[in-house]
Amino acid sequence: MKKLLFVAVALAAVVAVGVWAGGSAEEEPTMTLRLAETHGPDYPTTQGSVEFARLVEERTDGRIKIEVFHSAQLGEESDAIEQVQFGGIDFTRVSISPLSAFVPELDAFQMPFLYDDADHMWEVLRGDIGREMFEGLEEHGFVGLTWYDGGARHFYTTSRVETVDDLSGLSIRVQEAPLMMDMVELLGATPVPMPFGEVYSGLQTGVIDGAENNWPSYLTTSHYEVAQYLIENAHTMVPEITVASMEVWETLSPEDQEIIREAAWESIDHQKRLWAEFEEEAEEEIRAAGNTITEPSAEVLAEMQERMQPLYDRQPGHVKDMIERIQTYGGR
C-alpha cells in the first residue's frame, strides 16, 4: 500500500513539472524569471529592464520571459542583492554602491570625482575594463549583464549649502556602502545609512539634514519638497548594473545565456536615451518649483576633490591600480 502511494505521489510530481514547463514533453518549455527593480514603472532604469525583458522574450520566441517587479516589490536593493546571490531572485538592477558591500572591487568605479565627464565613464564601462569587472563578479555569485546610466549625484539638504564648511555637522543619508560613508565623513558631515524608502520621512522629521542622489531621483521621490536646497557638485557618477544569479545562470543553456547577455547589452542605448530625457525634464521641473540650486565655484569643487585624497590613499593596491587605469583610459 505504501509503495502504491509513493508511485502516485511521484507521478503527480511529474505531471506538475510538465505543466510548469509547458504542458507536455513535445512543447518548448516556458521559463518565467524575476527581475527586482527599486524604482517606479516609468523610471528609466525600470524601462531599460523592460526593454531587456522584451528582447529576451522576442529572441527566444516566448520560451523565456522576464517579469520586472518595480517599486521595490521584491525588497530594497540590499535585500534584492542578497536574494540574487543565493538564487532567490533571478536578476536585479541596482546601483553599484550597495553591491560593493558584496564585491569590494566595485569601489574603483564609484570613487568621488573619478571621471572627467559622462563620456569618459561610458568609454570605461563599454570597454575592456567594464567587461573585466563583470568577470570579477562571478566568484561572488553574480553574473554581470549590463550597465545603465545613473547620472551624476549631488547633495540636497534642508538648509543651504554653498561651501564645504556648510556641510560640517549635517546628517546626510547615504547608501549602505562603506565608501559612501567615508566620502561624507571626509566632507565633515555625518553619514547615516538608511533604506531608500525611508529618506522622505527622515528629511521631513529632521532625522537627517540631507541626502545625495541624481536629478530624477530627487524629483520622483518628492525629496525636493522636504529638502529644497541642492548643490550641483556632481561628486560621483555611479553607474547602475544589472546582475543575474549565478545559481540560476548555470541552469541555462549556453545558447540562452548568450541571448540574455546580448539583450541586456543592447538595452543600454534605450535606457541612456530615456535617462537623458528624464534628467533634463526633472531638472526643469525642480527649478520651476522654486528650489534653490547652487552651482559651486571651481574653488569649492577643488576643495571637495582635495578632501577625497585620504579615501584614494587608503584603497588596497588592486583597487588603486584599477583607479589609475580608469583615470588614464583612452589616453587621458
Is there a single domain that holds both residue 122 and residue 158? Answer: no
Whether residue 3 is predicted with pLDDT greater than 60 in this model: the reply is no
In a domain, 63, yes or no: yes
Domain residues for the domain of 141 are: 10-151+239-280
Residue with cell 549631488: 154
Is there a single domain that holds both residue 126 and residue 263? Answer: yes
Express each pLDDT in 62-97 by its tens digit. Answer: 999 999 999 999 998 989 999 999 999 999 999 888
Express each pLDDT in 199-209 by its tens digit. Answer: 999 999 999 99
Q: Show the cell assigned to 142.
A: 553574480
Report the share of the chain in percent with pLDDT over 70. Answer: 91
- Alpha-carbon distance 292 to 155, whole Å? 12
Closest CA to 237 of 128, 328, 116: 116
In this prediction, residue 227 carries a pLDDT of: 98
Whether residue 20 is predicted with pLDDT greater than 50 in this model: the reply is no
* 44-54 average pLDDT score: 97
Residue with cell 546580448: 262
* 95-102 average pLDDT score: 83
Is there a single domain that holds both residue 102 and residue 118? Answer: yes
Whether residue 98 is predicted with pLDDT greater than 90 in this model: the reply is no
In this prediction, residue 305 carries a pLDDT of: 96
In this prediction, residue 97 carries a pLDDT of: 81
Eight-class DSSP state of 187: T
Element (H, E) at 323: helix 317-327
Partner residues linked to 31 by β-bridges: 64
Q: Residue 96 maps to which CATH number?
A: 3.40.190.170
Is there a single domain that holds both residue 132 and residue 172? Answer: no
Whether residue 19 is predicted with pLDDT greater than 60 in this model: the reply is no
In a domain, 123, yes or no: yes
Is there a single domain that holds both residue 28 and residue 105? Answer: yes
In this prediction, residue 331 carries a pLDDT of: 75
- Alpha-carbon distance 260 to 252, whole Å? 10
The pTM for the full model equals 0.82
Number of structural domains in the chain = 2
Is there a single domain that holds both residue 303 and residue 274? Answer: no
Element (H, E) at 302: helix 298-307
Is there a single domain that holds both residue 15 and residue 107? Answer: yes
Is there a single domain that holds both residue 156 and residue 71? Answer: no
Q: Are 100 and 180 in contact (CB under 8 A)?
A: no
Element (H, E) at 193: strand 190-193
Is there a single domain that holds both residue 31 and residue 103? Answer: yes
In a domain, 1, yes or no: no
In this prediction, residue 29 carries a pLDDT of: 65
In a domain, 4, yes or no: no
Query: Could you tell me the pLDDT band of residue 182, with boundaries at 50, 70 and 90?
Result: very high
Average pLDDT of the chain?
Answer: 90
User: CA-based Rg of the chain, rounded to a whole angstrom?
Assistant: 22
In a domain, 158, yes or no: yes
Whether residue 23 is predicted with pLDDT greater than 70 in this model: the reply is no
In a domain, 230, yes or no: yes
What are residue 155's phi and psi, to 5 degrees?
-85, 135
Is there a single domain that holds both residue 131 and residue 174? Answer: no
In a domain, 258, yes or no: yes
Is there a single domain that holds both residue 101 and residue 163? Answer: no
Is there a single domain that holds both residue 202 and residue 119? Answer: no
Distances 235 to 4, 145, 154, 249 between C-alpha atoms, Å: 68, 26, 6, 35
In a domain, 285, yes or no: no
Express each pLDDT in 113-153 by its tens digit. Answer: 999 999 999 999 999 999 999 998 999 999 999 999 999 99
